[in-house]
Amino acid sequence: MIYGEKLLKDKLDLIDSLQQLGVACHFKKDIKCVLTEIHESMDQILMSTRDDLHLISLLFRLLRMHGFSVSEADIFKNCMDNKDDLKAKLSSDIKATLSLYEASFLTKEGEEKLEMARDVTTKYLTDFLQSSKNTDSRLKEHVAHALEIPLYGRGTERLHARWFIDQYKLDEHMRPAFMELAVSEFNLLQNAYKKELKETSRWWTDLEIDKKLPFIRDRIVENYLWSMAFVPELKHAHARKAITKAISLITSIDDIYDVYGSLDELEAFTHAVEQWDITSIEMLPDFMQLCLRALINMVQDDSDLVLKERGLRITPCLRKAWTDLCKAYLVEARWYHTKYQPTLEEYLENAWISMSVNVCFTSAYCINDEVSANDLEQLLHGYPNIMRVAAISARLSDDFGTSSHEIARGDVDKAIQCYMRDKRVTESAARQGINEMIWKCWKLLNCENVGDSAFHEYYRNVLLNIVRMAQCFYGSGLDGYAEPGHKTKEQVISLLLKPIEI
């Protein structure tokens, strides 16, 4: 089927609105069908839309987001071959500029047109905001929001849906039925989230870790925000609760390695985790016994649930993930206690595990209904490369936002300090270099997000969401773990406490 330009625009705008409203999950098959038809008619479509930069950019973004193979050279060849022509279009059409800017975050390695487009559109959008000639307040708000949190590259689905619903109410093309669905969906999820948070909070309170170990970070709400970002759909309640519990123990154990434990105690704790033997707990100090007992019991509970529901044994995968994490923590503890200064390469080779993405991902992976025994066997023998890239990106974002605080608290140098030593540059230059490394990770992740990938869409989305949340949480200066700030409280209120009124 070949779409006329108006019908094509209507279809793409509708798909885009459904995604931003957070209700696209209800129309997955329909959206896939429409995009498949469009993809099969690309040659004819591009001939009829060659001068519409907004439409072409939207088409490119949606196809790439849904895993279709599309070439920047083919789609943008009539719009971006001449840099002067592109600048003329951008200077006269801010909507097209914004659309191209959003599309540029799906760049893959070697796509020079989109690399250039990202830089140029960022400049034009920034100039637009700073200009006193522009009086369109709604458009300015959209531009400001995009510059802070691009649609694909950063942010989280539910946070963006909360913001977009308010914007959609004022849209002249607003469809009341979809507006009502979005509000109902948001409020339904909010009620489910609140119930899950109560359950995990009760679990955390019963453990009494925060009372018996006052040096740890007590951040159960922030931990739940992460799980919401990773797996936002209603059907993934088990995964959200498992991830929240895992992150709560991750932060506690991380603080033991960073702040409280002696090197000998940390060696013993790591060995006990590796042995995974409840009888070895008695050999540890009381504060470590509490954490290890909680860890083993939590993994056992998750494993019993999956064994009962699907007959699969997930303990080996979870045990491996936690053992690898504690070993990585121990490496950093040895560096700190011996005052060893790692190179950036050494640091990242260990830090992509110490970021704990492997534990969060493994928890989400094993709890998911679609996991098979073969999937578990493959995970047991090695983490996929896409997880490594996602973990490095998340680690760099974390270091970018929190390194100064963590070093002052008592921790090894982070990526920025390693970069400064390796390259012999200033902190400002190092931060620029780290930003470039984060962007390179994004381009590698975009290469993996294709429909014929051997990696299931659910798991790709979990990893992409981990990276998005890391950049949102640390990149905007939130750092809710170090000291819960105003933005963190705003998120909690909007996502968990305040329903939307129609």
Q: Which residues contact 56 (CB under 8 A, 6 or more apart)?
A: 46, 49, 50, 75, 76, 79
13 alpha carbon, distance to own chain's centre: 25
- Mean pLDDT over 353-378 rounds to 91
Listing DSSP states for 242-265 in one string gives HHHHHHHHHHHHHHIIIII--HHH
pLDDT beyond 90 at 343: yes
Span of 21-25, 180-184, 210-214, 401-405 with lowest mean pLDDT? 401-405
Q: pLDDT category, 478, cuts 50, 70, 90?
A: very low
Span of 275-279, 355-359, 399-403 with lowest mean pLDDT? 399-403
pLDDT beyond 70 at 249: yes
* DSSP character at residue 284: S
Query: Using CA atoms, how far apart are residues 68 and 84, in angstroms rounded to an integer?
Result: 30
Highest average pLDDT, of 65-74, 125-134, 265-274, 281-290, comes from: 265-274
- Mean pLDDT over 176-180 rounds to 96
8 A C-beta contact, residue 353 and residue 387: no
Q: Which residues contact 7 (CB under 8 A, 6 or more apart)?
A: none
* DSSP character at residue 69: -
Look at residue 456 in the predicted model and tell me its pLDDT.
Answer: 79
- Mean pLDDT over 321-330 rounds to 98
Q: pLDDT category, 345, cuts 50, 70, 90?
A: very high
* DSSP character at residue 49: S
The tokens of 230 are what?
């990773």
pLDDT beyond 60 at 403: no
Look at residue 59 in the predicted model and tell me its pLDDT.
Answer: 95
8 A C-beta contact, residue 292 and residue 274: no
- Mean pLDDT over 147-163 rounds to 86
Residues above pLDDT 70, as percent of the chain: 91
The tokens of 367 are what?
């709890």
Span of 146-160, 378-392, 451-465 with lowest mean pLDDT? 451-465
Q: What is the pTM of this model?
A: 0.91
Domains of the chain: 5-152 (1.50.10.130), 179-497 (1.10.600.10)
More confident residue, 39 or 477: 39
Look at residue 415 in the predicted model and tell me its pLDDT.
Answer: 94
* Angle at the Cα of 249 from the Cα atoms of 315 and 402, rounded to 5 degrees: 130
pLDDT beyond 50 at 184: yes
Listing DSSP states for 110-153 in one string gives T-HHHHHHHHHHHHHHHHHHH-SS---HHHHHHHHHHHHS-TTT
Write out pLDDT tens, residues 258-313. Answer: 888 899 999 999 999 999 987 878 889 999 999 999 999 999 999 999 999 999 99
Write out pLDDT tens, residues 205-247. Answer: 999 998 888 888 888 999 999 999 999 999 999 999 999 999 9
Span of 38-52, 160-174, 237-251, 294-308 with lowest mean pLDDT? 38-52
For residue 485, the SS3 value is coil
- Mean pLDDT over 19-37 rounds to 95
Look at residue 243 in the predicted model and tell me its pLDDT.
Answer: 96
